[in-house]
Amino acid sequence: MQLQIIQNLIYEIRGQKVMLDFDLAKIYGTETRILKQAVKRNSIRFPKDFMFQLNKKEWQEVITICDNLPGGIKYSPALPYAFTEHGVTMLASILKSTKAIQMNISIIRAFIALKQFALSYKELAQQVKELKDTTSNHNARLNRIYQALETLLADKAGQKNWDDRERIGFKK
């Protein structure tokens, strides 16, 4: 159940699966400002591929898409930070409470489950594509066979009847 709740808090922004700072703060049992302070004090641990701040347009898209955001968060003037899977892992090294470590393990498991689902989806999509290619090739072959049969039938209709044709060979 906990895994499902965490998976619902993972968003896709800039082509990456991320979690937002206020959701992480809630999961870790801390305030968002405390989480942000800890991140700012340890900014060297969070390169751009681990964490980035949303711009206004991205934040508006998240607000529009997600109807389960806390009310106060929607109107906050501060733009949230987005943490990738690696950024969430790095948070465990700066938030050292027992709850933070336990929740971090659950979050990493959620990211892994999403990756496994994406891989199986990709394989399934490839199989569907191959089937579609095979089917379209098969349909083209059947169309050629039907055209050849129609041509033969048209030629047959244009020929004389067997009884009406002139005999070849020995005649009586």
Whether residue 166 is predicted with pLDDT greater than 80 in this model: the reply is no
Complete edge-to-edge strand list for the sheet that includes strand 10-13? 10-13, 16-20, 81-83, 51-53
Of 25-29, 109-113, 146-150, the least confident: 109-113
Higher per-residue pLDDT: 138 or 9? 9
Higher per-residue pLDDT: 78 or 121? 78
pTM (2 d.p.): 0.58
pLDDT at 159 (0 to 100): 64
DSSP state of 78: S
Q: How far apart are CA 147 and CA 138, in angstroms?
A: 14
Beta bridge partners of 135: none
Domain 2-120 = CATH 3.10.260: yes
- The model's pLDDT over 80-125, given as tens digits with 9 standing for 90+, comes to 899 988 888 888 778 767 777 777 777 777 778 877 877 777 777 7
pLDDT at 52 (0 to 100): 92
Question: Which tokens sit at 170?
Answer: 């020995």
